[in-house]
Amino acid sequence: DSASLIAWYRAALEPLGARWAEHLLIVGPGAIIGFDERDDVAAKAAEPGRQMINITVGDVRAAERHLNTLGVTWVRPVEKVGGGWFFSTIVDPVGNYLQILQGPKTP
C-alpha cells in the first residue's frame, strides 16, 4: 500500500529536510525517492541490503531522536565509524534499508 509507505517516509524524512512534491520525496539536490503502484513487485523487499537509500544529515543524534519517536526498527544503531563519520541503518515498513549518515562536512 503506497499510501502508508508514503506517510512513513514523509514522517521520517520531512523533519530532516526532505520535501514532498506530487509523488516524489525530494531528499537533496538531484536526489528523490519515487513511489509507484506496481503489480509485478512483491509487497516486501526480498533482499533489503541489495540497494540502500543513503540520507546525510547535519545532526545524526537529532535524527536518531526523531526516528525513535516514530518507533523505527534499527538494523544498525548510530555509531561513529571514524574520520568524523556516523553510520546507522533503519528498515522501512516494507523491508527496505535506509541509511542515515553524518559526515565531517555534512551541512
Residue 107 domain-assigned? Answer: no
In tens, the pLDDT along 24-38 reads: 999 988 788 988 878
Averaged pLDDT score across all residues of the chain: 90
- Does the pLDDT at position 81 exceed 80? yes
Q: What is the pLDDT of residue 15?
A: 94
Confirm whether 43 is domain-assigned: no
Summarised one tens digit per residue, pLDDT across range 56-73 is: 999 999 999 999 999 999
> Of 19, 30, 44, nearest to 95 (Cα)?
44
Which residues are registered as beta bridge partners of 31? 28
Tell me the residue range of the domain where 64 lies.
2-37+48-101
Count of domains in the chain? 1
* List of residues 6+ apart from 67 with CB closer than 8 A: 12, 90, 100
CATH number at residue 82: 3.10.180.10
Total Cβ atoms within 10 A of residue 9: 21
**What's this model's pTM, rounded to 2 decimal places?**
0.82
In the predicted model, is pLDDT for residue 44 greater than 90? no
